[in-house]
Amino acid sequence: MSGLSPVSDGAYDVELRAVTKRFGHLKAVDAVSLKVRKGEFLSLLGPSGCGKTTSLRLVAGFEQPDEGEILIGGTDAVGTPPYRRDVNTVFQQYALFPHMSVLDNVSYGLKQRKVGKSERYARAREALELVRMTGREAQKPTTLSGGQQQRIALARALVMRPRVLLLDEPLGALDLKLRKEMQIELKRIQEQVGITFIYVTHDQGEALSMSDRVAVMANGVIEQIDEPRVIYDRPLTPFVADFIGDMNFLTGEVVEAADGGFAIDAGAGIVVRGRGQAAKGTRMRVGIRPERMVAVAGPPAGTANSAGAEVVTKMYLGDQIQIVAELPGIGSIVVREQRASADPALDSIHPGDRIALSWDESSPLLLGETAPASTAGQQEEQS
């Protein structure tokens, strides 16, 4: 392809180098670079239309990039058809062959490799054991439940012992309880077989709980790629902050900047103090997680990192209490506290009552200079 022969240092199973894919005028994937480490569980997370599935299909070979390089196992895979790539896919709708038995489905790939009948059936049975689906070999896939079909689809891909397993929202069609079960199963299987997983999902809970690393995508680009903990604690962009978990946003001018700390005048008498580099005079956006705030009944202290608010709704989430309150002139804000440690007086507050919010200096996250607040993206339900 290019003049330089692509070289990889061997630590990566898949490498995307400035890969672009267009559909008409739309750039589904926009100059994405990504390195997937050997044996890691990497999630591509983002809202629908962010380019995560297209990225996966580029690795699988179902789509070819318009620009850039794709390396699988250190060699250039651009132009290589799917049937010659050392990757296998688990599809969202399972895509099991309806006219074949479970055993024939699972051994289909080995048959294409001209593996003898007795050996391929033996290996298919092993794969079915791995996904805990023994005893159904002779059945047709349509006689199985969704969760069982997904296990068969997983076995059908795993039996190939691919370098990389690609999973395209594999649990998307399952109900919540089954999804939770399968998340644990997938993680167990991945650790057992040690194959690199690239996992596409729009469910942040799923991505955060299962992955070694998460790549958050929006509009065809990777916004941030890091360990789940860092993605949650240190989101780099307003989009990531908003998409992962819940986030309260405040904006204002930096009125003080010294010694690695800052103070922002968020308006309505609220001053946000936090740690981080911010230039004095700029308008910055900060985010504070709902669980990093403390609410008490009564008027605010009037110091920095505190605010008075009016209760809009109060909800009990089992062990937690969640209050949505209105900051006058700013907007609504969400506070979530453990009930065991929350102010007991919160139990008797009602919509319209005044509460005082406060947070400590380590809570506000600097999210860059303000652009128009259009990062949008429907907030996912936190699971």
Partner 1 sequence: MAVAEKTPEVAAAPAAARRRRSFKPRYPGWLTAPSLLYYAVFFLGPMAILVAFSLAVQQGFGSLKYGFDTSQYSQVTTSLYLHIFERTLVMAGFGTVLAVAVGYPVAYWMARYLSTYKMLALLLVVVPFWTSFLIRTYALKIILDPHGYLARDLGINILYTKYAVAVGLVYNYLPLFILPVFASLERMDWTLIEAATDLGARPFTAFREITLRLTLPGVVTGALLVFIPMTGEYIIPNILGGGNYEFVGNVIGDQFNQAQNQPFGSALSIGLMAALSVFVIAYILVATKEEQFGA
Q: Which residues of the shown chain bind partner 1 in the complex (CB under 8 A)?
A: 60-62, 81-83, 87-89, 91, 93, 95-99, 108-109, 112-113, 140, 142, 156-157, 160
The nearer residue to partner 1, 89 or 375, going by C-beta atoms, is 89
User: Phi and psi of 356, rounded to 5°?
Assistant: -110, 130
Contact indicator for 255, 279 with CB cutoff of 8 Å: no
Give bridge partners of residue 321 from the DSSP assignment.
Answer: 316, 337
Tell me the helix, strand and coil percentages in the chain, rounded to 5: 25, 35, 40
The H or E element containing residue 22 is strand 12-23
The nearer residue to partner 1, 87 or 342, going by C-beta atoms, is 87
Minimum CB distance to partner 1, residue 91 (Å): 6
The H or E element containing residue 191 is helix 176-193
Q: How far apart are CA 178 and CA 241, in angstroms?
A: 28
The nearer residue to partner 1, 144 or 357, going by C-beta atoms, is 144
Minimum CB distance to partner 1, residue 106 (Å): 10
Minimum CB distance to partner 1, residue 114 (Å): 10
The nearer residue to partner 1, 196 or 375, going by C-beta atoms, is 196
Q: Coil, strand or helix: which one is 317?
A: strand
The H or E element containing residue 61 is none
Q: How far is CA 137 from the centre of its chain?
A: 34
Q: How far apart are CA 182 and CA 159, in angstroms?
A: 18
Q: What angle do CA 57, 123, 103 make, to 5 degrees?
A: 75
The nearer residue to partner 1, 112 or 338, going by C-beta atoms, is 112
Minimum CB distance to partner 1, residue 166 (Å): 9
Minimum CB distance to partner 1, residue 308 (Å): 55
Minimum CB distance to partner 1, residue 270 (Å): 52
The H or E element containing residue 218 is strand 213-218
Q: How far apart are CA 28 and CA 51, in angstroms?
A: 5
The nearer residue to partner 1, 157 or 327, going by C-beta atoms, is 157
Diameter of the chain measured on Cα atoms: 78
The nearer residue to partner 1, 75 or 112, going by C-beta atoms, is 112
Minimum CB distance to partner 1, residue 155 (Å): 12
